[in-house]
Amino acid sequence: MMPDESYAAVMTRRTEIMRRSVGIDYERYELDGGIAFDTEALAESPPYSIEDVRQIQLRHKVGDTPLLELTRLTELVRRSAPAGKGARILVKDEAANPSGSFKARRASMCLAHAADQGFRGVIAATSGNYGAAVASQAAMYGLKALILQEVFDSAGRGQPEVLEKTRACEAYGAEVWQLTVGPELFYLHLLLLEETGYFNASLYTPYAMLGVETLGREIALECAERFGRHPAAIIATHSGGGNVTGTARGLRGAGATDTAVIGASVDLTGLHMASDRDFNRKSFTTGHTGFGFPFSVDPDRVDVPRNSARGLRYLDRYVTVTQGEVFFTTQLLADLEGMERGPAGNTSLAAALVVAREFDADELVVVQETEYTGAGKHPTAQLTLAREMGVEITVGRRNEDRPGERIVLPETVDEMDVTEVDLGRLRRSYLRRVAARAGRRPLADYEIEFLAADLNTTPDFVQVEWARSAGARQPAVPVSATGGAGG
Partner 1 sequence: MADSPRDPPIASVHVPEGEWVEIERVVLRAPARARNVPPDTALTDFVARVRGFLVAGADLGSNATVRTLLDREVGGRLVEVNPRNPANFGDPVPALLRLGLEARHSLDEGGGSTDARRSGGRPRR
Q: Which is nearer to partner 1, 112 or 169 (CB)?
A: 169
The residue type at 137: Q
Element housing 262 (H / E): strand 260-266
CA angle in degrees (0–180, nearest 5) for 219-221-222: 65
Q: Which is nearer to partner 1, 168 or 254 (CB)?
A: 168
Q: Which is nearer to partner 1, 321 or 443 (CB)?
A: 321
Min separation Cβ 416 and partner 1, Å: 11
Min separation Cβ 379 and partner 1, Å: 6
Element housing 417 (H / E): none
| Helix residue spans in 302-439 (DSSP H) | 311-314, 323-337, 343-355, 379-388, 423-438
Min separation Cβ 29 and partner 1, Å: 28
Min separation Cβ 253 and partner 1, Å: 37
Min separation Cβ 281 and partner 1, Å: 12
Q: Which is nearer to partner 1, 50 or 436 (CB)?
A: 436
Tally the residues of the chain: 487
Q: Which is nearer to partner 1, 185 or 203 (CB)?
A: 185
Q: Which is nearer to partner 1, 47 or 156 (CB)?
A: 156
Min separation Cβ 358 and partner 1, Å: 18
DSSP 201-232: --TTSHHHHHHHHHHHHHHHHHHHHHHSS--S
Residue 440: helix, strand or coil by DSSP? coil
Q: Which is nearer to partner 1, 84 or 439 (CB)?
A: 84
Q: Pick from 368, 355, 356, 365: which is nearest to 247 by CA?
A: 368
Strands 260-266 and 317-321: parallel
Interhelix angle 71-80/323-337, nearest 10 degrees: 120
**Please, what is the end-to-end C-alpha distance for the chain in angstroms?**
40
DSSP 78-130: HHHSPTTB-PEEEEE-GGGSTTSSTHHHHHHHHHHHHHHTT-SEEEEE-SSHH
Q: Which is nearer to partner 1, 368 or 382 (CB)?
A: 382
Q: Pick from 342, 245, 238: which is nearest to 291 by CA?
A: 238
Min separation Cβ 460 and partner 1, Å: 35
- Contact, 351 vs 295, CB < 8 A? no
Min separation Cβ 266 and partner 1, Å: 17
Structural Rg of the chain based on CA atoms: 21
Q: Which is nearer to partner 1, 167 or 317 (CB)?
A: 167
Min separation Cβ 323 and partner 1, Å: 13
Strands 67-69 and 88-92: antiparallel
Min separation Cβ 292 and partner 1, Å: 19
Residue 209, Cα to own-chain centre: how many angstroms?
11
Note the residues at the interface with partner 1 (CB under 8 A).
5-7, 72, 75-76, 78-79, 121, 144-146, 151-152, 154, 158, 160-161, 163-164, 166-167, 170, 173-184, 187-188, 196, 272, 274-277, 327-328, 331-332, 334-336, 375-376, 378-385, 387, 393, 395, 409-413, 477, 479
Min separation Cβ 75 and partner 1, Å: 6
CA angle in degrees (0–180, nearest 5) for 459-462-464: 110
With 0-12 / 13-18 / 19 or more C-beta atoms within 10 angstroms meaning exposed / middle / buried, residue 175 is middle
Q: Which is nearer to partner 1, 221 or 274 (CB)?
A: 274
Element housing 358 (H / E): none
Q: Which residues of 376-392 are buried (b: 16+ CB within 10 A; e: fewer)?
A: bbbbebbbebbeebebe
DSSP, res 288: B
Q: Which is nearer to partner 1, 296 or 373 (CB)?
A: 373
DSSP, res 474: P
